[in-house]
């Protein structure tokens, strides 16, 4: 569903469905037919489900209804759930109030957080809730369920930013949350060296 297309030129687009050849080609084809330009994108396959998220720019005079119609055609043909959303210049969806100018993903200090242990419900919530309480913002996150079905192991990796001045002690609540779940957690700085 397109939200407030007029007077904006950037959009977020997500598409999810059972993996099969041709999904990326079909979705991007519908966009290219209307002069849309792909900016950032990420795509992943999780247990046979393909997911893509894209930031798309479009000419101001683009026929939004035609793009939506073409995306709908692709979605029906490939059995995808597709969502397109117009963005303000600051990245917020056009249906929400404008927010601050800073990007929480690129300000502050960068950290890597690794968690692994016996699988049980609630690990991601416990760790990310502790991270949010510490003022952390998740930039990237991936989880994997591995090992034999009789003894599954859960892995969680997070790249996050913390407010300036934070130290590894700022992440102690994550270690405590991990301990409470009986899983192993390590954190280390992930700031890049600028050469």
* Site residues (vs other proteins, CB under 8 A): 112, 114, 116-118, 140-142, 144, 146-148, 153, 155, 157-159, 182-184, 186, 190
**Residue by residue, what is the 3-state secondary structure of 64-100?**
HHHHHHHHHHHHHHHCEEEEEEEECCCCCECCCCCCC
Task: Provide the minimum distance between the beta carbon of 60 and other proteins in the complex, in angstroms, as a whole number.
Answer: 34
Comparing CB distances to other proteins, the nearer of 20 and 184 is 184
Q: Are 93 and 85 in contact (CB under 8 A)?
A: yes
Parallel/antiparallel/unpaired status of strands 10-18 and 80-87: antiparallel
Complex with other proteins: residue 80 or 156, whichever CB lies closer: 156
Least spacing, CB of residue 89 vs other proteins, in Å: 28
The smaller minimum CB distance to other proteins, of residues 6 and 45, is found at: 45
CB contact burial 84-122 (16+ within 10 A = b; e otherwise): bbbbbeeeeebeeeeeeeeebeeebbebebebbbeeeee
C-alpha span between 109 and 129 (Å, rounded): 18
Distance of closest approach, residue 133 Cβ to other proteins, in angstroms: 20
Query: Minimum distance from CB of 175 to other proteins (Å)?
Result: 12
Tell me phi and psi for residue 64, to 5 degrees: -65, -35
Q: Which two tokens stand for residue 160?
A: 């996050």
Nearer to other proteins, 66 or 180 (CB): 180
Interacting residues of 176 by C-beta distance below 8 A, sequence separation 6+ = 130
Q: Decide whether 129 or 141 has the Cβ nearer to other proteins.
A: 141
* In the complex, least distance from residue 142 CB atom to other proteins, rounded to whole angstroms: 4
Residue 24 or residue 157: which is nearer to other proteins going by CB?
Answer: 157
CB of 188 to other proteins, least distance (A): 8
For the chain, how long is the longest CA-to-CA vector? 57
């Amino acid at each position: 569903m397109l939200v407030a297309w007029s007077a904006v030129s950037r959009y977020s687009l997500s598409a999810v469905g059972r993996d099969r050849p041709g999904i990326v080609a079909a979705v991007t084809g519908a966009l290219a037919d209307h002069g849309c330009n792909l900016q950032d994108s990420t795509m992943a396959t999780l247990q046979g489900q393909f997911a893509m998220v894209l930031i798309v720019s479009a000419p101001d005079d683009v026929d939004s209804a035609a793009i939506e119609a073409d995306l709908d055609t692709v979605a029906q043909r490939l059995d995808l759930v597709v969502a397109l959303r117009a963005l303000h210049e600051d990245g917020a969806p056009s249906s929400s109030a404008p927010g601050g100018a800073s990007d929480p993903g690129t300000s502050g200090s960068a950290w890597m957080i690794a968690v692994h242990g016996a699988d049980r419900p609630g690990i991601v919530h416990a760790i990310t809730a502790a991270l949010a309480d510490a003022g952390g913002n998740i930039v990237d996150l991936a989880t994997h369920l591995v090992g034999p079905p009789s003894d599954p192991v859960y892995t969680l990796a997070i790249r996050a930013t913390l407010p300036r001045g934070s130290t590894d002690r700022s992440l102690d609540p994550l270690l405590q949350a991990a301990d409470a779940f009986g899983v192993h957690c390590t954190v280390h700085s992930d700031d890049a060296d600028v050469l």
